[in-house]
């Protein structure tokens, strides 16, 4: 075998080797460019991510600052409104307290005036009642004295006896009524008795006059 046959059967020629080297070099260049491009894309992505993070951080800080400013302004406005409301409430409360004091003072004055008027009226009524009672007693005494002056002694004795009998009968009737009368009625009767005792003199005088008149009339009838 010669060299030419060996080249044809197994080993590449120098030209083929050069071509293979060129192809390999081109492929390596393309691979390096591709790798460089990929590396550049990752770097750009990292840069974009970093820029986005920075922008988001700045935006977040800006929003936080704006929110803090708005919150502070809202708190300040709320504090001012609360202060104004408290001041208005204090003024209103002071006005109400002053008005209440005036009303109490007016009510006290009216109550005092009403009490004074009532006391004056009560005093006037008591004076009138005392004067009327005195007049009744005086008239009853005068009438009793006039009847006594005109009545003979026997008639006066009979009048005294009749009055005694009337008192005894009244006492027995009163005791009988007390025994048969319920408690509430007894209380009312006690009040009536107290009122009667207060006007005892006019009533006795009137009773004496009535008894004397009846006895005189009876005596005149018998004389006829």
From first CA to last CA, the distance across the chain in angstroms is 216
For residue 49, the number of C-alpha atoms closer than 13 Å in the C-beta half-sphere is: 6
pTM of the model: 0.32
* Backbone phi and psi for residue 182, each to the nearest 5 degrees, phi listed first: -65, 165
Whole-angstrom CA distances from 151 to 33, 147, 203, 208 are: 168, 6, 20, 12
141 membership: H or E segment, kind and range: helix 14-150
Whole-angstrom CA distances from 187 to 158, 170, 180, 182 are: 35, 19, 14, 9
| C-beta of residue 209 within 8 angstroms of C-beta of residue 139 | no
For residues 164 and 157, what is the distance between their CA atoms, to the nearest angstrom?
11
Q: What is the pLDDT along the chain (224 residues), one digit of tens a residue?
A: 444 444 455 677 888 888 888 888 888 878 877 777 666 666 677 777 888 888 888 888 888 898 898 899 899 999 999 999 999 999 989 999 998 899 999 999 999 888 888 888 888 888 888 888 888 888 878 877 777 677 666 766 777 777 788 778 777 776 766 676 666 665 766 666 666 555 555 555 556 556 555 655 565 555 55
């Amino acid at each position: 075998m010669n060299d030419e046959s060996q080249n044809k059967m197994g080993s590449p020629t120098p030209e083929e080797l050069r071509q293979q080297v060129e192809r390999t070099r081109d492929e390596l260049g393309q691979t390096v460019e591709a790798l460089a491009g990929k590396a550049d894309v990752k770097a750009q992505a990292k840069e974009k991510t970093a820029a986005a993070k920075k922008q988001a951080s700045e935006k977040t800080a800006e929003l936080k600052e704006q929110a803090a400013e708005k919150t502070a302004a809202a708190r300040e406005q709320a504090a001012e409104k609360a202060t104004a409301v408290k001041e208005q409430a204090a003024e209103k409360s002071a006005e109400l307290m002053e008005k209440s004091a005036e009303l109490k003072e007016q009510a006290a004055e009216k109550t005092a005036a009403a009490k004074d008027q009532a006391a004056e009226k009560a005093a006037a009524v008591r004076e009138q009642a005392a004067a009327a009672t005195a007049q009744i007693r005086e008239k009853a005494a005068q009438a009793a004295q006039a009847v006594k002056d005109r009545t003979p002694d026997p008639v006066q004795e009979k009048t005294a006896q009749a009055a005694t009998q009337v008192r005894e009968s009244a006492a027995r009737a009163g005791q009988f009524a007390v025994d048969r009368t319920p408690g509430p009625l007894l209380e009312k009767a006690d009040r009536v008795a107290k009122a009667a005792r207060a006007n005892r003199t006019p009533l006795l005088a009137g009773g004496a006059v009535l008894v004397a008149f009846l006895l005189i009339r009876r005596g005149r009838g018998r004389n006829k």
